[in-house]
């Protein structure tokens, strides 16, 4: 990003977020700040709490304590959250899952249009028009009438991205979007994500794609054992990791 | 057994078959939507509703259809609720249908992957919309083959209504048999008529099962 930090407003702010499952602390006092238009990559070994952190941002998981702000909309962990607030919160945060989670009984166009109609109140005609534009944008204009099962994994994930974009989110959250894909199909998904980043979308990406983290992200976060171990410009962390644990993790993923 | 018995008596049996079909259709038409409602409440996040529903379903499944039928036709009039034999049969079979199909449908609803429900909530869809557009259409689809199999059983169970003087197929066969003493050939014809409905229905069920398997 070219703008100086001070002129950009904050898109996502996590303040001392704690999440426990029973006795097990998955997120231990995590704070994180994402500026508008910034691409943040979260890396780290499995079980580090990366996905849980992402799921807390759009409240698919309720944190036990802390405060989460997305596009100016703040939610305190302790307080009661009404359905209306929940919907408002999720609308601004689009989510893309590792396993795509498309609706298999609906054709591709319906997959993208349904939430526009039910959540944004768009007419079928307007929703379909928008869906077609988005399909075109992810390079799948010809798939509108197909069912998800007739699409490759890479195509399904691009459809899932279009589905999330259809709600005009302020930020996009990606939970290991290429982990279920073979490398070649992963590339077409990463290409769409690169484009999004270039257009200035605020993105948080949990990923094992180190090349992507290195090239595309503005900020790299290394998580270990439910906490942020270190964060900073990706180039710096890749070339001079500040912790032995980071060094070990990077060696393991890069030398595969 | 003679073909002349069949030729003489088939009109009475056919009219009985038509009553059997109608009472079955009404019982399924009321019972299956009721079964879906029970399935949804049995999956409800509200504990009290869930336990009450599961209790009602267990009682409904535990009680023989014949007993429910007798309660509706002979029992309810003692508390001043009276139905004709046709509606008594339809109501009793509908209650049994609701209890059994709720379990079939509950299994279907639970077969919908939780990731899709999660994706719908991440898109900001409210629970009601997620049920209506994502969970119910897929859950019911999965349940269609076992529901068709169950419909065949209810059609056969409609013969129990001969105990409440409903002129359905079994009762027509029985009364024709007792006036002609041709029990073997008349009841045999009745059995063939039941089979003429249930065997094609079972084929359709098999085909439906294969169709469903193709889409999964």
Average the pLDDT over A114-121 and give the result. 95
- pLDDT band for B215, please (50, 70, 90 cuts): low
The residue-averaged pLDDT of B164-175 equals 92
| Band (A85; pLDDT cuts 50, 70, 90) | confident
Question: Which residues does chain B have within 8 Å of residue A104's beta carbon, measured at their own beta carbons?
Answer: 116, 138, 215
- Closest B-chain CA to A165: B123
Average pLDDT of the segment spanning A196-205: 96
Q: Do B138 and A114 touch (CB under 8 A)?
A: no
The pLDDT tens digits for A11-66 are 999 999 999 999 999 999 999 999 999 999 999 998 899 999 999 999 999 999 99
Establish how many alpha carbons lie within 13 A of residue A98's alpha carbon, considering only the half-sphere containing its beta carbon.
12
Q: Residue A8 — pLDDT band, cuts 50, 70, 90?
A: low
Residue range A149-182, pLDDT digits in tens: 999 999 999 999 999 999 999 999 999 999 999 9
User: Are A60 and B122 a contacting pair at CB < 8 A?
Assistant: yes
Minimal CA separation from A198 to chain B, in Å: 24
CB-closest option in A90, A105, A160 to B124: A90
Is ipTM strictly over 0.85? yes
Q: Which of A116, A140, A146 is nearest to A128 (CA)?
A: A116
CA distance A253 to B19: 72
From B115's Cα to the closest Cα of chain A, the distance in A is 6
Q: Residue B124: which of A87, A97, A149 has the nearest Cβ?
A: A87
Q: What percent of chain A clears pLDDT 70, i.e. is strictly above it?
A: 97
The answer, yes or no, to whether residue A6 has pLDDT greater than 50, is no
Q: Which two tokens stand for residue A247?
A: 């060094």
How far is it, in rounded angstroms, from Cα A163 to Cα A102?
Answer: 9
Decide if A115 and B126 are in contact by the 8 Å CB cutoff. no
Cβ separation of B115 and A97 shorter than 8 Å? yes
**Chain B nearest C-alpha distance from A83 (Å):** 8
In chain B, residues with a C-beta closer than 8 Å to the C-beta of A91 are 124
Q: What is the mean pLDDT of residues B116-120?
A: 96
The pLDDT confidence band at residue A5, using thresholds 50, 70 and 90, is very low
pLDDT beyond 60 at B216:
no
Mean pLDDT of chain A: 92
Chain B positions in Cβ-Cβ contact with residue A99 (cut-off 8 Å): 115
Q: What's the fold here for domain B2-215?
A: MetI-like fold (1.10.3720)
A118 interface with B at CB cutoff 8 Å:
yes
Asked whether the predicted pLDDT for residue B177 surpasses 80, the reply is yes
Asked if residue A1 has pLDDT above 70, the reply is no
Size of interface A-B (CB pairs under 8 A): 60
> DSSP secondary structure string, A80-91?
---HHHHHHHHH
CB A93 within 8 A of CB A58: yes
Report, as an integer, the average pLDDT of B140-146. 91
Question: Integer distance in angstroms from the first to the last C-alpha of chain A?
Answer: 31
- Assess contact for A96 and A177: CB atoms under 8 A: yes
Please report the beta strands in chain A, taking only residues with DSSP state E, as ranges in sequence order.
Answer: 10-21, 24-35, 39-43, 65-70, 73-76, 93-96, 171-175, 202-206, 219-224, 227-232
Contacts of A83 in chain B (CB under 8 A): 126
pLDDT at position B214: 62
Question: pLDDT tens digits, residue range B64-105?
Answer: 999 999 999 999 999 999 999 999 999 999 999 999 999 999
> Is some CB atom of chain B closer than 8 A to the CB atom of A58?
yes
């Amino acid at each position: 990003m070219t703008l100086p930090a001070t002129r950009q407003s904050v898109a996502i702010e996590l303040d001392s977020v704690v999440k426990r499952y029973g006795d097990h602390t998955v997120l231990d006092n995590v704070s994180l700040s994402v500026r508008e238009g910034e691409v943040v990559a979260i890396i780290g070994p499995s079980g580090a709490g990366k996905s849980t952190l992402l799921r807390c941002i759009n409240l698919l998981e309720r944190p036990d304590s802390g405060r989460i702000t997305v596009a100016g909309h703040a939610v305190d962990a302790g307080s009661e959250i009404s359905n209306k607030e929940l919907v408002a919160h999720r609308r601004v945060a689009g989510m893309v899952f590792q396993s795509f989670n498309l609706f298999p009984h609906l054709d591709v166009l319906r997959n993208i249009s349904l939430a526009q109609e039910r959540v944004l109140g768009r007419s079928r005609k307007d929703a379909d028009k928008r869906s077609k534009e988005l399909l075109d944008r992810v390079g799948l204009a010809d798939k509108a009438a197909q069912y998800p099962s007739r699409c490759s994994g890479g195509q399904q994930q691009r459809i899932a991205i279009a589905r999330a974009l259809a709600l005009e989110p302020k930020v996009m959250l990606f939970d290991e979007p290429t982990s279920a894909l073979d490398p070649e199909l992963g590339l077409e998904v990463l290409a769409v994500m690169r484009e999004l980043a270039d257009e200035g979308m605020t993105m948080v990406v949990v990923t094992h794609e180190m090349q992507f983290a290195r090239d595309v992200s503005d900020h790299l976060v290394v998580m270990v054992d439910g906490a942020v171990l270190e964060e900073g410009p990706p180039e710096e962390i890749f070339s001079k990791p500040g912790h032995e644990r980071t060094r070990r993790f990077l060696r393991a993923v890069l030398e595969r | 057994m003679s073909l002349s018995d069949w030729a003489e008596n088939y009109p009475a049996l056919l009219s009985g078959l038509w009553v059997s079909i109608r009472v079955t259709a009404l019982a399924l038409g009321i019972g299956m939507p009721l079964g879906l409602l029970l399935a949804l409440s049995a999956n409800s996040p509200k504990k009290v509703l869930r336990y009450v529903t599961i209790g009602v379903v267990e009682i409904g499944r535990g009680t023989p259809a014949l007993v429910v039928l007798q309660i509706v036709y002979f029992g309810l009039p003692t508390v001043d609720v009276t139905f004709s034999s046709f509606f008594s049969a339809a109501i009793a079979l509908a209650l049994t249908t609701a209890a059994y199909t709720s379990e079939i449908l509950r299994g279907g609803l639970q077969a919908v992957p939780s990731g899709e429900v999660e994706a719908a909530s991440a898109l900001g869809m409210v629970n009601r919309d997620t049920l209506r557009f994502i969970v119910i259409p897929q859950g019911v689809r999965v349940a269609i083959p076992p529901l068709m199999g169950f419909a065949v059983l209810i059609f056969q169970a409609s013969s129990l209504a001969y105990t409440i003087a409903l002129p359905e197929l079994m009762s027509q066969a029985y009364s024709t048999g007792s006036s002609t003493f041709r029990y073997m050939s008349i009841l045999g014809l009745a059995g063939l008529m039941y089979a003429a409905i249930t065997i094609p229905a079972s084929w359709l069920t098999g085909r439906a099962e294969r169709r469903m398997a193709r889409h999964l």
